[in-house]
Amino acid sequence: MQSKKTKIIATIGPVSESREILKKLIESGVNVVRLNFSHGEHSWHDKIIDTVRELSAELDTPVGIMADLQGPRIRTLVSADVEIKEGETVIIHDSSSSQISNSQFLISNKIPNPKSQKDKKIIGLGYPNIIKDINIGNEILIEDGLKRLKVIKKEKEFLEAEVLNGGVIKNHKGVNIPDANFHFGAVTEKDEKDLGFVLGKEVDFVALSFVSNAKEMEETREKIKKILGRDINIPQLISKIERKEAIKNIDEIIAASDVVMVARGDLGIELPESEVVIHQKEIIGKCLAAAKPVIVATQMLDSMINNPIPTRAEVSDVTNAVIDHADAVMLSGESANGKYPVETVATMSEIIINTEKSPYDDVVPEYLDQNIVADYASVINSAHELAKTSGAKAIVMFSESGLTARMMAHHRPEQKLLVATSNPKTYHQLSIVWGIETYLFQVIDGRGRAIDLAIEKAKKEGRLSAGDKVVVILGKVPGGKELALVGIREVD
């Protein structure tokens, strides 16, 4: 298969859990597997992680593993289906500790003057102390916004809400409250348990759901360091942008994140759908400027859950994400529980390759931000200019932490980006970065030797040929004063 620069992330589920299908997914173009911790027991995830690591070694290719924590997901809690109609008033209460029926809630005397409320239907929200963070005028969106309520009265223990769009409220359905100022904290009790498990399995990425601000990212990073007892070779943190509040705080969130995901599912519920694509493009641009990898996710090839070919609109969606220079595009239900997981990945790879060959992928502004890593940004910029003016076919780098590779990738150069590393964590984490092709070596006699080995391997694979010019970067020494050594050489 022809190599692509935009990476593919695939969510693993019942249809893709077997070793055979996982292997086919990787061979078809998957670079990172996503494990959704909203579903599945630890024993199931454990088996997938082990199988992916085995396949990565067998296929001699890096495959990143992303643990996506559930986060503070709010859900309905009702003991039986509740039908609500437009214009009527309902009671909303915090039933996080148990599922409480209408009669049980009224008997508890949480509502003053129960007789005046006895005919009103009651809907529980399953998250501790949620009522205090909701205000009059906030809209409560249930089941992807299909049912809409507006808060018209607030008491200490409950809310009254007017039904704007009715329907049947079922148990355990997702709830979004876009304008509420929640104080959930960085991770939930469930997330804490899942985090302990995934850190023990040395996953490459931890994704935080429903991020609101930079503080949540920073608290989680410190928690990870404390659990692992180290501050190097830790999982990279992915902030999932899916809340209205996250859009307001996007600059600080990007600065506090290693990777950013535009999670368009919940974002399209919290914001008008017509605004989501605009925010997507803005976030990609900001991440490029900050040299932070960015993922576009949700419903990219959604119809392929049931159909063997995508819609024209879906092809356009993936194409535009590639043209905007997202680092990665992500599959969810398509690869987790769809009928055609392998075909979906192959289709996405084909769209990416065809788009990257087109002239529409070529015109890229210079995204250099001199404040990223001060002088080192200028060194990388100079290497990029050298690659363009010399006619080099590739830029070959040694990168222990991945910084050099990420800094170069944010320029989106035309040249191949070949990276040698001796760090297994870096080897897998660079699988999410645009254009990077990574080689893992046990280097015992210097960075120069690692560069030689990378060039030799690239020749064997047909990526380079004798006589090709390559720009060489020996990389930044972590914690050292040496910036980098940059040069140009001809492949023997």
Catalytic residues: 34, 75, 240, 298
Contact 435, 417 (CB under 8 A): yes
Give the separation between CA 356 and CA 360, rounded to whole angstroms. 8
Amino acid, res. 403: L
Helix (H, G, I), strand (E, B) or coil at 88: coil
Give the separation between CA 7 and CA 437, rounded to whole angstroms. 11
Location of structure tokens 């249930």: 142
Helix (H, G, I), strand (E, B) or coil at 137: coil
Give the separation between CA 300 and CA 323, rounded to whole angstroms. 15
Helix, strand and coil content of the chain, in percent to the nearest 5, comes to: 40, 20, 40
Give the separation between CA 477 and CA 404, rounded to whole angstroms. 10
Name the token pair of 307.
């159909």
Angle at 124 between CA 121 and CA 130, to 5 degrees: 130
Largest Cα span, the chain: 89
Angle at 36 between CA 148 and CA 124, to 5 degrees: 30
For the beta carbon of residue 469, count every other beta carbon within 10 angstroms: 17
CA–chain centroid gap for 142, Å, is: 24
Partners of 84 in the β-ladder = 167
For the beta carbon of residue 199, count every other beta carbon within 10 angstroms: 17
How far is residue 167 from each of residues 80, 131, 177, 400, measured CA to CA in Å?
14, 23, 18, 55
Give the separation between CA 8 and CA 164, rounded to whole angstroms. 39
Q: Which of 179, 342, 402 is nearest to 271 (CA)?
A: 179
